[in-house]
Copies of this chain bind each other. A is one copy, B any other.
Amino acid sequence: MSLTPYQQLEDRFRRLLSLRDAEAMLHWDMATMMPAGGARSRGDQLATLKAVQHGILTEPETEFLLQAALDNDVDDGPEAANLREMQRMWGRATALSEDLVVALAKSRSACETIWRKARAEDDFALVLPHLEKFLSLLRQAAGATAEKLDLSPYDALLDEYEPGGRTREIDRLFGELQSFLPGYLSRALERQSGGPPALKPKGPFAAGKQRALGVRLMKILGFDFEHGRLDESLHPFCGGTPDDIRITTRYDGDDFTQALMAVLHETGHALYDRGLPKAWRGQPAGEARSMGVHESQSLLIEMQVCRSPEFLAYAAPLMAAAFDGAGPAWETENLLRLYTWVEPGLIRVEADEITYPAHVVLRYNLEKAMLAGDLEAADLPAAWNEEMRRFLGLTPANDRLGCLQDIHWFDGAWGYFPTYTLGAIMAAQLFEAAQNAVPGIWRAISKGDFAPLLSWLRENVHSQGSLLTSRELLIRATGRPLDTEAYKRHLQRRYLS
- Residue ranges of A at the interface with B (Cβ–Cβ < 8 Å): 14-15, 18-19, 21-22, 25-26, 29, 33-38, 40-42, 44-45, 47-49, 51-52, 224-229, 240-244, 281-282
* One of B21, B226, B281 near A37 (C-beta < 8 A): B226
Instruction: Give Cα A19–Cα B51 distance, bound, in whole angstroms.
Output: 11
* One of B40, B228, B240, B242 near A243 (C-beta < 8 A): B40
Instruction: Give Cα A148–Cα B38 distance, bound, in whole angstroms.
Output: 38
Instruction: Give Cα A364–Cα B240 distance, bound, in whole angstroms.
Output: 41
Hey, which chain B residues are within 8 Å of A34, CB to CB? 244
Kindly provide the distance from the CB of A46 to the nearest chain B CB, expressed in whole angstroms: 8
Instruction: Give Cα A227–Cα B243 distance, bound, in whole angstroms.
Output: 29
Hey, which chain B residues are within 8 Å of A243, CB to CB? 37-38, 40-41
The chain B residue sitting closest to A41, CB to CB, is B243
The chain B residue sitting closest to A45, CB to CB, is B22
Besides A35-B229, A41-B243, 11 more A-B contacts (Cβ < 8 Å) are: A18-B44, A18-B48, A19-B45, A19-B49, A21-B45, A22-B26, A22-B45, A29-B29, A37-B228, A41-B241, A41-B242
Hey, which chain B residues are within 8 Å of A22, CB to CB? 22, 26, 45, 48-49
Number of copies of this protein chain within its complex: 2
The chain B residue sitting closest to A40, CB to CB, is B243
Instruction: Give Cα A41–Cα B240 distance, bound, in whole angstroms.
Output: 11
Instruction: Give Cα A433–Cα B281 distance, bound, in whole angstroms.
Output: 56
The chain B residue sitting closest to A32, CB to CB, is B33
Kindly provide the distance from the CB of A230 to the nearest chain B CB, expressed in whole angstroms: 11
Contact A38–B241 (Cβ < 8 Å): yes
Kindly provide the distance from the CB of A233 to the nearest chain B CB, expressed in whole angstroms: 13
Kindly provide the distance from the CB of A243 to the nearest chain B CB, expressed in whole angstroms: 4
Contact A36–B281 (Cβ < 8 Å): no
Instruction: Give Cα A52–Cα B225 distance, bound, in whole angstroms.
Output: 31
* One of B35, B41, B48 near A281 (C-beta < 8 A): B41
The chain B residue sitting closest to A244, CB to CB, is B38
Instruction: Give Cα A34–Cα B33 distance, bound, in whole angstroms.
Output: 13
Contact A38–B227 (Cβ < 8 Å): yes
* One of B21, B29, B45 near A44 (C-beta < 8 A): B21
Q: With A29-B29, A41-B281, A244-B41 as given contacts, are A227 and B19 in contact (CB-CB < 8 Å)? A: no
Hey, which chain B residues are within 8 Å of A240, CB to CB? 38
Instruction: Give Cα A241–Cα B43 distance, bound, in whole angstroms.
Output: 13
The chain B residue sitting closest to A241, CB to CB, is B41
Hey, which chain B residues are within 8 Å of A241, CB to CB? 38, 41
Hey, which chain B residues are within 8 Å of A21, CB to CB? 41, 44-45
